[in-house]
Structure 1
Amino acid sequence: MPLLPPRPHRNRTEMPSRSRKGLEHLVRAPPGCALEQAHRILGAFERSRVANEQMTIKALLFDFDGVIIETETPIYRSWLELYQSYGFDLPFDLWILTIGTSEKFFDPKEYLQKQVGHPLDWDEILPRRRAREMSLVHNQPPLPGVLDYLKDARRLGLKNCIVSSSSRAWVKGHLERVELLDYFDFFRNRDDVAHTKPDPELFLSALEGLHISPHEAVVFEDSPNGILAAKRAGIFSVAIPNDLTRLLNLDQAGLLIDSLAEMPLEVLLRKIESPNLVVKSDQEWQFE
């Protein structure tokens, strides 16, 4: 997983500050284990304690579409089916311009009308397309690992926030449907700003509303537009590609993981802050 320069981090546990000696009861050397190895294990606990005390992350800033719920593929599919009903294809290289932002970079209505060669009755077409989109999205559950992250953030005293180029009604409607709305403390949507991603305004507005600095937040994104917006705002970003965006270049993200279920929140936060953290599995990690 690519990792950019280390970032301030957050608490794994609410462990009180203790001396090295005070941690010795946490280490039980197995039979035959050399004292030197036991000391190395103890050292890992001690470095973990120091990392705990230095963590400064206060908020998790989640994109919505493709990060919380997989809406990207259903939306694309509904437009693709509309294009195909007129005998045309919807080029993916044009559609990706809309992912993580608004339609100002690519208008699928205008493009289809140009392909057809005559005006279309959008008053009839759009409600039908929208109904198809909703039927596809309605079956989508929260993506793997999302609920665990939201619960762990609450336990660790972090704010859960949505920062999305979609409308607040769209976001809150789906969060309510999947019973996640109450886990979020703060929202910034396209309704709140003049410019959506890749412009940093959404993230800068969120930082201002939360009264935090860029180094006190972590962004979770699935698209190049969102990652670029976070970078422009000076916030560390974690890329979690979905079925559509895994085809795109997400190299500008500070960290790339396949799914939130791949790495527990506390380990991910440590990984951001500590480049020398080796993650062996979601349940096994150590400092080198």
Structure 2
Amino acid sequence: MLEAVIFDMDGVLIDTEKFYMRSEQQIVAEYGIDVPASHFTKYCGTTQDYIWQNIKDEFNLPASLEQLKEIAPIYLEKLFDTEGVTMIDGIPELLAELSASPLKLAVASSTKQALIHKHLSSIGLSDYFDVMESAENVKHSKPAPDVFLKTAELLGVNPENCLVIEDSSNGVKAAKNAGMVCIAFKNPEFPSQDTRLADLEVTHIKDITLARCYQLYDQTVSGK
């Protein structure tokens, strides 16, 4: 029985993935490396440790992991402050509909806990959620299932009774590794990611409704 819907934050609730990719692009540019922002799509949905260790290795950057992690928020916050964080189209309507149902709602994001609260509070979304959990509080980041399993535990529900809404390949893998039903939001404004493991792919949040969540969950579970 479906008991909870768990949202990724960046790229699902709020339009921030572009800022992460651009900040990563800007930082490697400081070392004379010219790559498009879309190059960093593969890191969407993962933690800062994972991102910067892999970028450091990929481009053989002379800075330490700690140095990269220290400067990354400076570039990122500048983009947030100058351009602002906005909701993904359709999210207010979806949250209003889901919150009027018996379902529990949560956020499970690779973003740091403080930033999750800051972003969602600033645009008036935090009150919709029973739990807002960060992958910084678990051992392994997405595509490992840890953050989704921890979120289900905090909600007091079994993982198999959860439906996840994700936008990244790593996030979809994490949801499926957790044994959860998953909807992939493929935003046409961003570079496409491989989300074929999801139980449903949509190109607009408005394609997701309470009825469709229940229907997808029942179809997926009955097909197992």
Q: TM-score, normalised by structure 1?
A: 0.66
Looking at secondary structure, tell me which structure has more helix per residue.
2
| RMSD across aligned positions (CA) | 2.9
Aligned mates of 1:242, 1:90 — CA distance in 2:
22
Q: How does 1:1-288 map to 2 (within 5 A)?
A: 56-90=1-35, 95-107=40-52, 110=56, 114=60, 126=72, 128-135=74-81, 139-242=84-187, 246-274=191-219
Deviations 1:232-276 (A, max 9, x none): 11100000023576521110000000121124232343244348x
SS across alignment from 2:60 = helix
Instruction: Summarize the Cα distance change of 1:126–1:257 in structure 2 as closer, same or farther, 3 Å threshold.
Output: closer
Q: TM-score, normalised by structure 2?
A: 0.83
User: Conserved in 2, the CA contact under 8 Å of 1:60 and 1:217?
Assistant: yes
Deviations 1:127-150 (A, max 9, x none): 6423433235x5231111211121
User: Conserved in 2, the CA contact under 8 Å of 1:62 and 1:68?
Assistant: yes
- Residue identity over aligned pairs, in percent, reads 28
User: Conserved in 1, the CA contact under 8 Å of 2:135 and 2:146?
Assistant: no
The residue that corresponds to 1:37 in the other structure is: none
Which residue identity lines up with residue 24 of structure 2 in the other structure?
A: W
SS across alignment from 1:218 = strand
Measure how far apart 1:170 and its partner are: 0.8
List runs of 5+ in structure 2 lacking aligned partners: none
User: Conserved in 2, the CA contact under 8 Å of 1:221 and 1:240?
Assistant: yes
Deviations 1:41-78 (A, max 9, x none): xxxxxxxxxxxxxxx21111001111100111111112
User: Conserved in 2, the CA contact under 8 Å of 1:97 and 1:106?
Assistant: no
Count residues in correspondence: 217
Which residue identity lines up with residue 150 of structure 2 in the other structure?
A: S
Measure how far apart 1:81 and its partner are: 3.0
Q: Which shows bigger deviation, 266-275 or 150-159?
A: 266-275
Superposed structure 1 runs of 4+ greater than 4 Å apart: 91-94, 118-128, 243-246
Deviations 1:173-216 (A, max 9, x none): 00011111111111221232111111111111122222212332
Aligned mates of 1:169, 1:97 — CA distance in 2:
24
User: Conserved in 2, the CA contact under 8 Å of 1:72 and 1:244?
Assistant: no
User: Conserved in 1, the CA contact under 8 Å of 2:130 and 2:155?
Assistant: no
User: Conserved in 2, the CA contact under 8 Å of 1:223 and 1:245?
Assistant: no
User: Conserved in 2, the CA contact under 8 Å of 1:97 and 1:105?
Assistant: no
List runs of 5+ in structure 1 lacking aligned partners: 1-55, 276-288
Which residue identity lines up with residue 6 of structure 2 in the other structure?
A: L
Which residue identity lines up with residue 164 of structure 2 in the other structure?
A: V
Instruction: Summarize the Cα distance change of 1:237–1:245 in structure 2 as closer, same or farther, 3 Å threshold.
Output: farther
